[in-house]
Amino acid sequence: MKHLVKWGLATPAILAVTLFLLVPVIITIAATFGEAKGVFAPYIAFFSSGFRRTVLFRTVEIALITTAISLIIGFIAAYVIAQMPGRAKSLMIIAAVFPLLTGVVVRSFAWLIILGKNGILNTMLLSIGVINEPLSMLYTEGSVIVAMVYLFVPLMILTLVGVLEGIPEDLIQAATSLGATPAATFRQVILPLATPGLIVGAVLVFTGSFTSYATPQLLGGEKQMMMGTFLYQRAMVTFDWVGASTIAAIMVVVTIGIVAIMSRIARRLNPMAV
Amino acid sequence: MTRTVHPALIAFTALVFLFLLAPLLIIIGAAFSDTTYLTFPPQGLTLRWFSNIFQIEAFRTTAITSLELALLGTALSLLIGIPAAYAISRHRIELPRWLSTLFVLPILVPEIVFGFSLMKSITIGLGLPIFPSLLIGHALLVLPYSVRVVSASLASFDFSIEEAAISLGCPPLKAFLTVVLPNIRAGVIAAFILAFITSINDVSVSVFLTGPGISTLPIQILAHMEQFFDPTIASVSVLLMLVTVAVMAIVEATLGLTFLTK
């Protein structure tokens, strides 16, 4: 009876995830292997096309650069926030949460206004005479990266503030009183203790930017197509469902692979965590 | 830990916050500009772009759809998520470990892949109408928040209080509703808010599940942006920011915003 109750409570949710998430995704991935031309035909087609390879490599590259920049900016900001006295700290957290809770479409749209041909940045640069004619900043890799960093820095800050606050002050005082320079304290005390948080943040940002759809669509256009937009285009514009499913399968493998590798690294660095 | 921080780091952080907030201020400015194109600083001040939103029927209908989806989807996810969270927290030892992993899957699987697979299997495969398909998509998208946030607050709940109530003759369901639920109220509110915000802003899942006649607000905004590049989009964005402000006010009043860093 008790056995029945505890499983019974979890059953609706288990069924929902299985029926509407696991099964559809497995069917999608399985569909790529049922081709008449051969089991791996869709994958051979994907990797033998220069254009498709470019989309994949561009997506990995943009996601990596976004993650690296977000890690650096987010770490510094989170470190400063963690040192702030109570009131300033909560104000800064509110300021970081606000963009996070504002939708992706709205936040990407802001960069269209800023980076457009008649956008604010061009108007400013023209009026101070740095440039003579407006620059084309939209639909470049740079514009996608700026907008992605903008999307993910708040997430990185929030992930890291909690971790950095949790570092006991005693440890830092001990290091200092034993003669460690601020740089050495940072390298040997703060950084190792913050590593689990940095890894969680990196995983969130990498998977988030690797799989994003709206931002590359708006700021990258056709020229800077990424995997998410490519999947949509294959599925809903050219109706190439096998091609779309192949892209989906590659995205799942990369995402789960990154999560697995990073959590293994995290476990090795800090056996207590995860 | 409060220590002196190098001025250069503080200056850098100030720049980070300028980077985070300036684009949103620019949207607000552009929404009030009396021009037919998007510009900043605003030229002249007008509210006509706000009234323009209400002239465009598509914004009205998609906003209602988005609200319905967010409320119903979040409610559904809590309805199945809270019992699952309870089972996981209460019977942690007896239940297999993969069970809690299962509920992280909706986060692990890329949203765009999830949306595409769901469209293929239920909208096309099962021939389900658009609204129920969207509802299933949104409920599953936010299920991880319901399960994980509620589990987190159950982790600090002392189940012996519930056992005491039951041993004194209280029926289990009543014990849950009157003893357990009030104690995890903050977690349920937090789960609701995170799920609601996620659902109302979602693009990647909805983009596959919307269809003729039924769409969501973010998808409508994207479509409008591709045709017209006027301040209407900026004014819709301002209204969405007001929703965010309202949500933050609720969080601050009930849980305190610092819960988001925990």
Interchain pair B24, A99: CB under 8 A: yes
What are the distances in angstroms from CA B203 to CA A173, B58, B120, B244?
47, 17, 17, 17
Q: Which residue of A14, A15, A32, A80 to mutate against B (max B Cβ within 10 Å)? A: A80
- Please list the pLDDT of chain B residue by residue as tens digits (262 residues): 446 788 999 999 999 999 999 999 999 999 998 888 787 788 888 888 998 888 889 999 999 999 999 999 999 999 999 999 999 998 887 888 888 889 888 888 999 999 999 999 999 999 999 999 999 999 999 999 999 999 999 988 999 999 999 999 999 899 999 999 999 998 999 899 999 999 999 999 999 999 888 999 999 999 998 888 888 999 999 999 999 899 888 888 887 766 666 6
Residues in chain B with CB shorter than 8 Å from the CB of A241 are 120
What are φ and ψ of residue B146, in 5° steps?
-60, -50
Distance, in angstroms, between A182 CA and closest chain B CA? Answer: 10
Distance, CA of A230 to CA of A54 (rounded, Å) = 11
Angle at CA A89, nearest 5°, toward A84 and A95? 135
Instruction: Indicate the residue type of A18.
Output: T
Give the closest of A12, A107, A251 to B110, CB-based.
A251
Q: Is B50 on the interface with A (CB under 8 A)?
A: no
Phi-psi sector, B54: left (phi>0), alpha (psi -120 to 50), beta? alpha
pTM listed for this prediction: 0.92
